[in-house]
Structure 1
Amino acid sequence: MADHTFRLSSGRLLGYAEHGDPQGTPCFYFHGWPSARVQGELMDEAGKKYGLRIISPDRPGIGLSDFQPHRQLSDWPPVLSELAAHLGIDKFHVIGWSGGGPYVLTTALAMPDRLLSATIVCGAPPLTFLGYEHMFWVYRLMIRLRHAFPTVLGLLLRAGERICQGQPDRAPLKWFMGMLGEADRKVLSNPTTFAVIRQGILEALSRGPKAVIADADIYLSEWGFEVSSITPLIHFWHGKQDRNIAWQYTDKLASIMPHTTTRWLDEEGHYSLPITHLDEILRQALNLPEPS
């Protein structure tokens, strides 16, 4: 992984990492929550295989990126535009996993002519519009704490940081692993994959819970646009065994958008789908034929 920073016109630093083929077609990868630029490492091998230059930026306040007070989802496209200009990039692919999904949507809305493709895998939904009915109970608890006891939520995230540093086969981390579905547990049993996921969480929390809470506030706020007004084609992928973000959210979201494709994987979860099916996801984004 190659880490970089550059200074935005606002004066804030933006951090990002590069993976895959340095000479390849640009592809911006938007990390999940809580995570950071290091999550893009999961696409390194596939990026080399398919000739993609994977660029994964830290969102403001996360990892190497400076905090941005009162940030909104609509603030992201100008930041991405500055990063693309810094790297000499005109057109690009975008892929967002989990909490990165909304950033794909706002990019598609703001820069439709610059997209080569747009893909969302197990993406976070507009909760103010679609509600909390299908939300994972841990996230529902965090939302209640955010509104009623924000200090407690900060302490909980601090505790989560310490728990995350433990061994996945030992309590208390083992208890959290047990909340996941079978497919997710299997994928995370791979030490390399687990190490990347863990490091992403630790990077997200490296500047304290304030930045992670601010990053989560984006999902709890009004997005400021109608998803039905997004004109580029959006490829949606979701596993029906996803316990973090239920596939029904993506189903509802795709149904009100004009140009989408949807792929439902009956046996896949939140972590297993983007890792197990990464080749298929990239082949669709690149409009490549299925291998015979």
Structure 2
Amino acid sequence: MADHTFRLSTGRTLGYALHGDPKGTPCFYFHGWPSARIQGALMDEAGKKYGLRFISPDRPGIGLSDFHEGRELKDWPPLLTELADHLALDQFHILGWSGGGPYVLVTTLHMPQRLLSATIICGAPPLTFLGYEHMFWLYRMMIRLRHAFPTVLGIILRLGEKIARGHPDQAPLKWLMKMLGRADRAVLKDPIVFEKVRAGMLEALRRGPKAVIADADIYLSEWGFEVGSIGYPIHFWHGKQDRNIDWRYTEKLASIMPHTTTEWLAEEGHYSLPVTHLDAILEKALAQPKPPASCHISH
């Protein structure tokens, strides 16, 4: 992994990591929650195989990136535009996993002319629009605490950081692992995969929970656009055994968007799908034909 920083026009620093083929076709990877640029290491081997250069930015306040007070989802495309220009990238693929999903959506809305493909794996939904009915009970509890007792979530995240440093076969981390589905537990038994996932989480919390909470607040807020207005083709992938983000959210989201493909994996979960099916995910993205002209209208 190669870490880099870049100074934005605002004066804030943006951190990012490079993985995969250093001379390959660029693909921005948007990390999950809570995570950081380090999570992009999961794409390294496949990037080399498929000739893709993965660029994984830390969101503001996470990892190497400076905090941005009052940040909204709409602030992402200008930031990404600056980073792409800095790297002299005219066009690129984008891929988001879990909490990175909304960042794919807002990018397709505002930067369609620069995209080669857009893929969302087990993506976080617009909760103010689709509701909390299918939300994992642990997330639902954290959301309620955030609304009722704003400072409690920080305490929980600090505790989660300490738990995450433990051994996955020993309590209390072992108890949390049991909450996952069978496929996810199996994938995370691979020490290499587990360490990459854990490293991303710990990096996100390294500077404290403030930015991680701000990141979470974006998921709970109004996004400022209608997802049904997104005309750029999006490839959705979701496992039906995903306990973190229920696949029915993606089903509802895709149903109101005009240009989508959907892949439902009956036996896969939140972590197992991107790990065990990454080849298929990337092959589909690379095979995307040029979108119709109507998809390139800037908003």
**Aligned match of 1:50:** 50
Aligned to 2:67, what secondary structure does the other structure show?
coil
Q: Identity of paired residues, percent?
A: 78
- The one-letter amino acid of 2:92's match is F
Instruction: Output one character per residue of 1:30-49: Cα deviation in whole Å (capped at 9) or x when no partner.
Output: 00000000000000000000
- The one-letter amino acid of 1:208's match is G
Aligned to 1:65, what secondary structure does the other structure show?
coil
Q: Alpha-carbon deviation of 1:231?
A: 0.8
1:215 aligned to 2:212?
Answer: no
**Aligned match of 1:255:** 255
1:280 aligned to 2:284?
Answer: no
- The one-letter amino acid of 2:164's match is C
Superposition pairs of residues 226-241 of structure 1, within 5 angstroms? 226-241=226-241
Aligned to 2:117, what secondary structure does the other structure show?
strand
Instruction: Output one character per residue of 1:191-219: Cα deviation in whole Å (capped at 9) or x when no partner.
Output: 00000000100011011111100000010
**Aligned match of 2:159:** 159
Aligned to 2:45, what secondary structure does the other structure show?
helix
Separation in 2, partners of 1:8, 1:50:
30
Aligned to 1:150, what secondary structure does the other structure show?
coil
Q: Alpha-carbon deviation of 1:182?
A: 0.3
**Aligned match of 2:36:** 36
Separation in 2, partners of 1:153, 1:71:
19
Q: Alpha-carbon deviation of 1:108?
A: 0.1
Aligned to 2:151, what secondary structure does the other structure show?
helix
Separation in 2, partners of 1:80, 1:123:
19
Aligned to 2:269, what secondary structure does the other structure show?
coil
Q: Alpha-carbon deviation of 1:151?
A: 1.4
Aligned to 2:116, what secondary structure does the other structure show?
strand
- The one-letter amino acid of 1:23's match is K
Aligned length: 288
Instruction: Output one character per residue of 1:249-286: Cα deviation in whole Å (capped at 9) or x when no partner.
Output: 00000000000000000000000000000000000000
Separation in 1, partners of 2:90, 2:76:
17
Superposition pairs of residues 125-274 of structure 1, within 5 angstroms? 125-274=125-274
Separation in 1, partners of 2:152, 2:22:
43
- The one-letter amino acid of 2:148's match is A
**Aligned match of 2:22:** 22
Separation in 1, partners of 2:2, 2:182:
33
- The one-letter amino acid of 1:15's match is G
Separation in 1, partners of 2:70, 2:260:
31
Q: Alpha-carbon deviation of 1:152?
A: 1.3
* Runs of 5+ consecutive residues of structure 2 not aligned to the other structure: 289-299
Separation in 1, partners of 2:209, 2:24:
36
Separation in 2, partners of 1:176, 1:235:
30
Q: Alpha-carbon deviation of 1:150?
A: 1.5
Separation in 2, partners of 1:268, 1:132:
22
1:82 aligned to 2:82?
Answer: yes
* Runs of 5+ consecutive residues of structure 1 not aligned to the other structure: none
